[in-house]
Amino acid sequence: MNTIQKRLEKLRQQIEDHNYRYYVLNEPSISDSEYDALFRELQNLESEHPEFIAPDSPTQRVGAPPLEAFGTIIHRVPMLSLENAMNKEELYAFDERVRKILNSSKVNVMSNEAPRITSLLLTSELKELYASKEITYVAEPKLDGLAVELVYVDGKLTNGSTRGDGITGEDITRNLRTVKSIPLRLRFSLFDEKEKGSPSVVEVRGEIFIEKKGFIQLNKTRLDRGEPPFANPRNAAAGSLRQLDSSITAQRPLKFFCYELGYIEGKSFDSHEEALQTLKSWGLPVNPDIQVCQGIEKATKYYHELEEKRESLPYEIDGVVIKVNSEAERNKLGARSRSPRWAIAGKFKAQQATTIVVDIEASVGRTGAITPVAHLEPVNVGGVMVSRATLHNQDEIDRKDIRIGDTVLIQRAGDVIPEVIKVILDKRPNGTQPYRLPSTCPICGGDIIRPEDEAVARCQNISCPAQVKGRIEHFASKRSMDIDGLGYKLIDQLVDTGLIHNVADLYSLDVEKVSSLERMAEKSASNLINAIDSSRKTTLARFIYGLGIRNVGEHLATVLASEFKQLHALMNAELEQLQNIDEVGPIVAESIVKFFKSDDNINVIQQCLDSGIELEPPPPDYSSQKLSGTTFVFTGSLSSFSRNEAKMMVEAIGGHATNSVSKNTDYLVAGPGAGSKLTKAKELGTTILTEEEFLKLIES
């Protein structure tokens, strides 16, 4: 190995080690930026020496060129499925079966004939069984994702596949390599000294899934891009794994937990618990919520507890898996044709139900986004009464053809708002109509507009009561009007009590009105009024930003301020004029024009200006101006220099200073007490500078 190869190897080891700390131990030991620096160094070194790029380098997780089709992989040990138990009684029956086989020498446990328990009543025979030693179980969350198998040869990930029919699966190695929590090398092969007795082949099974948080974010991005959202995290994970283009998979928030050993060469374990611990020490992520339970009673308690906790878990589960811990006992129990006798899935109550869409309401969010919401005939879904479901947007309604009166299948997924999965067309009554979102806002009657390439329609009126709180919050925020102490809760109170209806109303508040609010001391009220007062003096850019025009962020607000100088100029700007500005594209230009077309918006702005808001225009940009040949006049009292010094400065830049203002005067520099010269300059439209502005101009 030359020095470059050594450095590459060292970097890969370090990165893989930090992945382990982050994904498996949940205890990162370096910051994100330090990690990024290591990663970049590796990327750079590899791009200088592509001949040394290895498929198991951490840089190779970004995906590979698209495939025509997936190949197949035969599982060395079939991937079985699990028998289901729907309740506590069935879990106890499973335990009885297990004990009976393990306690009986008569049963031929390796046969496919399952021993039968004919009655759940405690016969004397079963009582005896209960008296005997309890079985040790391992209880695990039953993740609602996709089962996969990973094959490591000499510690290196060589193959990854789906379960398929249990015998053969699809070869999705390239996709699985992009999943960050899947180690590309097991830790026993990572460092120079190989651990003694490390296995030559390790085949593990586990679940690929997407956490609830990642799912919400993923769907949000898809909706924003006008793509159909996934119905649930499981579908999202399945769709991501089945991509022929692994670079798409790489962008999906897929996670992996390992839960079984399929096959191992060169090592064995006495128990499942020991196997999981070892797999974890080799760098495979193992669900921290797994528990060892002594006896079926504790395992059942785990099942009930997890069902209670289901909503608050970061990932979706549809039950628990209860597994016999001892390897010897597992072997004695054996398997039926499709499922092992040593494990059972304790399923939770269904999270889907059918019901009728009674009405569809267009609800308006804090940003004006219109979301269609189905009102449902109340139905119990997994223990929770559901009477509403989100329909996302018009495209989604069209795609699923959801109509008022339809019978629909709904699903409740974790803490996500219930969704309509599909319409049961057989049950559609006669005379239904396709649903269309209204063209005016149901709250304020303002126009609803859906930009051409967006999925979301929005109410355009800034005084729309539905949006008003969000808008006020934005207006008051640090980077716009900076009204200290005016937070979310206070805004709620002010709007709910009817003291304010829009941002302009803030300026008509007084201490008396504010202290009439519940739990509002006079001192706090007067602090708020002071803060509102001081916000009156602000810059044009901050005010523009504070208006919350769609697509106009802080930077663009600054650009618009320096381009237009006066608010009225911006308000009257035509589409073309806006589009001529470098940083303004057609979508932005349109949303600006639309904003200032609304009478309501204009009224609010006028009300702000009437209440004494002063908008300081941006300082002129002197750097591009030519000064030679320009004429200056000075008036009023000057504090940092004398008239004479001023004259010398002007001459030094090639201009000249005169005493009276005429149409030939380019600049009037006015100090305090300026009189008739200032009046005349204003009449003539001469540029008027303060002393400071003059100095800046000269310096430039």
Catalytic residues: 142
Q: Which is nearer to ligand IVH, 259 or 507 (CB)?
A: 259
Part in contact with ligand IVH (CB under 6 A); list of ranges 337-345, 462-470, 530-538, 585-593 = 337-345
Amino acid present at 194:
K
Interface stretch with ligand IVH, choices 40-48, 139-147, 231-239, 452-460 (CB under 6 A): 139-147
Q: DSSP string of 590-641?
A: HHHHHHHH-HHHHHHHHHHHHTT-EEEPPPP-GGG---TT-EEEEES--SSS
Kindly tell me which residue out of 343, 441, 490, 573 binds ligand IVH, with binding defined by CB under 6 A: 343
475 lines the binding site for ligand IVH (CB under 6 A): no
What mask of x and - would describe binding to ligand IVH in positions 157 to 176, judged by CB under 6 A? ------x-------------
CB of 158 to ligand IVH, least distance (A): 22
143 near ligand IVH, judged by CB under 6 A:
yes
Mark the segment that binds ligand IVH (CB under 6 A) among 293-301, 338-346, 417-425, 553-561.
338-346
Nearest residue to ligand IVH on Cβ basis:
147
Q: In the bound complex, what is the minimum distance in angstroms from residue 262's beta carbon to ligand IVH?
A: 9
User: Could you tell me whether strands 667-670 and 631-635 are parallel, antiparallel, or unpaired per DSSP bridges?
Assistant: parallel
Measured between alpha carbons, how far is residue 367 from residues 174, 327, 350, 475, 591 in Å? 41, 57, 35, 13, 14
Buried residues in 142-151 as b, exposed as e (16+ CB within 10 A): bbbbbbbbbb
Nearer to ligand IVH, 79 or 468 (CB): 79
Between 163 and 392, CB nearer to ligand IVH: 163
Contact call for residues 558 and 574 (beta carbons, < 8 A): no
The whole-angstrom separation of Cα 97 and Cα 181 is 37
Of residues 11 and 143, the one with the C-beta less far from ligand IVH: 143
DSSP code string of 238-279: HHHHT-SSHHHHTTS-EEEEEEEEEEEES---SBHHHHHHHH
Query: Which member of 61, 142, 252, 272 binds ligand IVH (CB under 6 A)?
Result: 142
Measured from the CB atom, is 170 or 260 closer to ligand IVH? 260
Segment 570-573 long-range contacts (CB within 8 Å, at least 24 positions apart): 570/544, 570/596, 571/596, 571/602, 571/605, 572/596
Tell me how far apart the alpha carbons of residues 375 and 395 are, in angstroms, rounded to a whole number: 18
| Region binding ligand IVH by CB under 6 A among candidate stretches 49-57, 141-149, 195-203, 590-598 | 141-149
Answer yes or no whether residue 345 interacts with ligand IVH by CB under 6 A. Answer: yes
276 binds ligand IVH (CB under 6 A): no
Q: Which is nearer to ligand IVH, 78 or 470 (CB)?
A: 78
Half-sphere exposure of 625 (CA within 13 A, CB side): 18
DSSP letter at 59 equals G
- Stretch (H or E) spanning 567: helix 567-571
Rounded distance between C-alpha atoms, residue 658 and residue 675, angstroms: 16
Tell me if 141 sits within 8 A of 320, measured CB to CB: yes
Question: Cβ 272 to ligand IVH, closest distance in Å?
Answer: 10
Burial classification of residue 267, based on how many CB atoms lie within 10 Å of its CB (0-12 exposed, 13-18 middle, 19 or more buried): middle
Decide whether 166 or 228 has the Cβ nearer to ligand IVH: 166
Q: What is the DSSP-derived secondary structure letter of residue 320? A: E
- What is the closest distance, in whole angstroms, from the C-beta atom of residue 465 to ligand IVH in the complex? 47
| Tokens standing for residue 113 | 């004939």
Q: Quote the CA–CA distance of 24 and 26 in Å, as a whole number.
A: 6
Which residue number, 139 or 364, has a Cβ lying nearer to ligand IVH? Answer: 139
End-to-end CA distance of the chain: 59
Residue type (1 letter), 401: D
Single out the residue of 210, 261, 284, 321 in contact with ligand IVH (rule: CB under 6 A).
Answer: 321
Q: How far is the CB of 166 from ligand IVH (least distance, A)?
A: 9
Residue 156's φ and ψ, nearest 5 degrees, are -105, 135
Sign of the torsion formed by the C-alpha atoms of 643, 646, 652 and 655: negative
Residue 202: CB minimum distance to ligand IVH, A:
16
| 646 in Cβ contact with 657 (< 8 Å) | yes
81 lines the binding site for ligand IVH (CB under 6 A) = yes
Whichever of 209 and 595 has its CB closer to ligand IVH, that residue is 209
Shortest gap between Cβ of 320 and ligand IVH (angstroms)?
8
Question: At closest approach, how far in Å is the CB of 119 from ligand IVH?
Answer: 27
140 binding ligand IVH? (CB under 6 A): yes
- Residue 92 CB, shortest distance to ligand IVH, in Å, is 20
Q: Which residues of 74-103 are buried (b: 16+ CB within 10 A; e: fewer)?
A: ebeebbbebbebeeeebbbbbbbbbbbbbe
C-beta separation of 578 from 570 below 8 A:
no
- Which residue in the set 170, 207, 419, 691 belongs to the binding site for ligand IVH (CB under 6 A)? 207
Of residues 260 and 396, the one with the C-beta less far from ligand IVH: 260
Question: Could you tell me which stretch among 80-88, 150-158, 232-240, 456-464 binds ligand IVH (CB under 6 A)?
Answer: 80-88
Q: What are the residues whose beta carbons fall under 8 Å from the beta carbon of 544, sequence distance 6 or more?
A: 552, 557, 560, 561, 567, 570
Minimum distance, C-beta of residue 174 to ligand IVH, in the bound complex (Å): 21
Structure tokens at 141: 């969350």
User: Pick from 260, 307, 316, 505: which binds ligand IVH (CB under 6 A)?
Assistant: 260
Q: Which stretch in 77-85, 103-111, 263-271, 524-532 sits in contact with ligand IVH by CB under 6 A?
A: 77-85
- Tokens standing for 295? 């006896």
Q: What is the DSSP letter of 133?
A: P
Closest contact distance (angstroms) between CB of 83 and ligand IVH is 8
In terms of CB distance, is 215 or 564 closer to ligand IVH? 215
From residue 209 to residue 248, the character string flagging contacts with ligand IVH as x (rule: CB under 6 A) and all else as - is ----------------------------------------
Supply the minimum distance, in Å, between the C-beta of residue 78 and ligand IVH.
9
Q: Pick from 8, 82, 650, 697 the residue near ligand IVH by CB under 6 A.
A: 82
Q: For residues 385 and 18, give the distance between their C-alpha atoms in angstroms, rounded to a whole number.
A: 45
Segment near ligand IVH (CB under 6 A); pick from 74-82, 194-202, 651-659, 688-696: 74-82
Non-local CB neighbours of 364 within 8 Å, separated by 6+ positions: 370, 371, 441, 442, 443, 459, 464, 466, 467
- Count of chain residues binding ligand IVH (CB under 6 A): 15
Residue 259 contacts ligand IVH per CB under 6 A: yes
Closer by beta carbon to ligand IVH, 98 or else 223: 98
Q: Which residues bind ligand IVH (CB under 6 A)?
A: 80-82, 140, 142-143, 147, 163, 207, 259-260, 321, 340, 343, 345
